[in-house]
Structure 1
């Protein structure tokens, strides 16, 4: 009986070892696939389009976005994305790159908010100006460190709200962000799930957005990424530019602070 038990245990150990080796091999292949994707990122085309849109006079006021203040002064974009979301005195609100961009399109160019946000993400045959502009702005922080310390009282409040949302269980499946992203070494199918409560995990997650999604053939912004995560968790889908999505970004960017930006990224 004892010999049989030892044989069973030995077989189980071999199976587990083989499974671990197969898993490591699969992850190595995924890493190679990601390296291949990075060679010739189509995001560069969106970046160029975003630059042209930034400099072009448009809207009822026939103005460009070159005087838009992303937090470092009118027209100053180098490093701005890496320091967002942040508090803006002129609106008395904490804003991320997309809410601030829409604010500038409305205040500087004279567009109506409902018009510029109608196409906030790409659909087949219909590209989004906002995605292109965010790609351009994001690229201006490439190689710079994320710096969202949330020191202003409103930023600190939003970080707390974001943390609450991260851990709050909701929806028909009683799900939370933390179930997938609150511990180390978790995975769904072949996808590693980073621990977003740590600098390392949050840094990997936040440093490469906006990103080009190969499977979608489109740029994805952080707003779209988070809203889609909430949809997959079967939560009530938040409205674009809602405070809840911005608060979650403050919490995650605060956790990721110190990580070097590598944007625009490319994903499967």
Structure 2
């Protein structure tokens, strides 16, 4: 056989084999990750935090010695079933679009008499310091378990926030000229063996949003959506926004709008 022809055939065979090998490796990785997630799901530490959040919700606290049982999260005072799944939304009493965390802080200030700076001082847990907000959000989120995300953003202010969130999602910024869309705007992306969902689709956004708040095994703590998005911005080397910033609520509105119709499964558990 002609030596050049033989070399061509060998090269072609190798080139054909590489994608097959890569596909096999991808399938193996995906299978192992699925087994890992299944093992983690057997006993979620977030369940304990949910119980603590339930107690905090009913406990009379603060300068006004009041509970949060009359807190209106969008469905009426004290109504929690499905409230998380319908946030962020516009609240007439504040004239703002609010997510669960900004609304919860509002209730802690207005109903219980706390100062905003005091209740947000420990908005996320640290070694040796528990977060009341994380516990309350876990409890509230769980009351939407099994219900569909419903954030159509039809109110003009909600539509404006969704549009702002979309702009932030695609905007390249920071020293690395990075955007959310670089990781989460296409199918088939992965980083450190972790699949990166396409958050511009219902399926991708739904998979991402339905399980938050989630217990993160690597951190040994429950993370809320505010913390997750702020940390994403940190990893992208963007200037970190303040807790409860409008930019974070806008991103949540955009993502929840994309995820609308997806059934909630929270609290979740992540690596």
TM-score by length of 1: 0.99
Aligned twin of 2:258: 255
Question: For 1:19 and 1:183, how far apart are their aligned partners in 2?
Answer: 19
Is 2:116 aligned against 1:121?
Answer: no
Bigger drift between 6-15 and 167-176 goes to 6-15
Give the drift of 1:188.
1.3
Question: For 1:14 and 1:197, how far apart are their aligned partners in 2?
Answer: 33
Is 2:94 aligned against 1:91?
Answer: yes
- How do 1:222-237 residues align onto structure 2 when only pairs under 5 Å count? 222-237=225-240
Question: For 2:186 and 2:143, how far apart are their aligned partners in 1?
Answer: 32
Give the drift of 1:19.
2.3
Aligned twin of 1:131: 134
- How do 1:28-107 residues align onto structure 2 when only pairs under 5 Å count? 28-107=31-110
Aligned twin of 2:270: 267
- How do 1:174-185 residues align onto structure 2 when only pairs under 5 Å count? 174-185=177-188
Cα displacement string for residues 34-78 of structure 1 (whole angstroms, at most 9, x for unaligned residues): 011011111100000000000000000000000000000000000
Gaps of 5+ in 2: none
Name which of 211, 214, 226 aligns with 1:211.
214
Bigger drift between 243-252 and 20-29 goes to 20-29
Name which of 243, 251, 255 aligns with 1:240.
243
Cα displacement string for residues 5-29 of structure 1 (whole angstroms, at most 9, x for unaligned residues): 1101212322331222122111101
Partner secondary structure for residue 212 of structure 1: strand
Name which of 198, 201, 212 aligns with 1:198.
201
Aligned twin of 1:153: 156
Question: For 2:49 and 2:116, how far apart are their aligned partners in 1?
Answer: 22
Question: For 1:105 and 1:74, how far apart are their aligned partners in 2?
Answer: 13
Give the drift of 1:265.
0.3
Partner secondary structure for residue 40 of structure 1: coil
Partner secondary structure for residue 68 of structure 1: coil
**Aligned residue pair count:** 268
Question: For 1:189 and 1:212, how far apart are their aligned partners in 2?
Answer: 19
Aligned twin of 1:23: 26
Question: For 1:21 and 1:48, how far apart are their aligned partners in 2?
Answer: 43
TM-score by length of 2: 0.98
Cα displacement string for residues 118-145 of structure 1 (whole angstroms, at most 9, x for unaligned residues): 0000101111000000000000000000
Question: For 1:26 and 1:211, how far apart are their aligned partners in 2?
Answer: 22
Question: For 1:130 and 1:222, how far apart are their aligned partners in 2?
Answer: 12
Question: For 2:139 and 2:194, how far apart are their aligned partners in 1?
Answer: 28
Gaps of 5+ in 1: none
